[in-house]
Amino acid sequence: MVPRRLGKGSQKRARFERLKIEVEKFVGANPGCSAQSIVANLSHDKYMRNHGLTPRKIGFFISRNLSKTLTWWQDHKAGRRVYGEIGNALKPKKTH
């Protein structure tokens, strides 16, 4: 068995940073988008297929790493979370 290399993880860090930038850019351009649409854009349009992205992973990624810039709210018609930038969120008005 080959011993594990002790590197700095520069490729992993670069992928992480690129993913952060691409998610922020897409949500900024498409407020009110779902995790599924984010994954579709990244996997097919941005060719990030080897990242193993799923809507669930994107949801966890946003809540853990982008909570200072992005927020989510519940889309009651579709029954899922949708994402937008903090301050520019298109949250529906309460009618009660």
pLDDT, tens digit, 9 for 90 and up, residues 30-41: 999 999 999 999
Q: Which two tokens stand for residue 20?
A: 């952060």
Q: How far is CA 52 from the centre of its chain?
A: 13
pLDDT digits (tens, 9 = 90+) for 21-78: 999 999 999 999 999 999 999 888 877 777 788 999 999 999 999 999 999 998 888 7
Q: Are 75 and 36 in contact (CB under 8 A)?
A: no
- Give the fold, CATH level 3, of 13-85: Arc Repressor Mutant, subunit A (1.10.10)
Q: Phi and psi dihedrals of 47, rounded to 5?
A: 55, 45
Domain ranges of the chain: 13-85
User: Residue ranges of the alpha helices (H) in the chain?
Assistant: 10-29, 35-40, 55-65
Could you tell me the CA-to-CA distances from 58 to 8, 27, 62, 83, 94 in Å, in that order?
A: 24, 12, 6, 11, 27
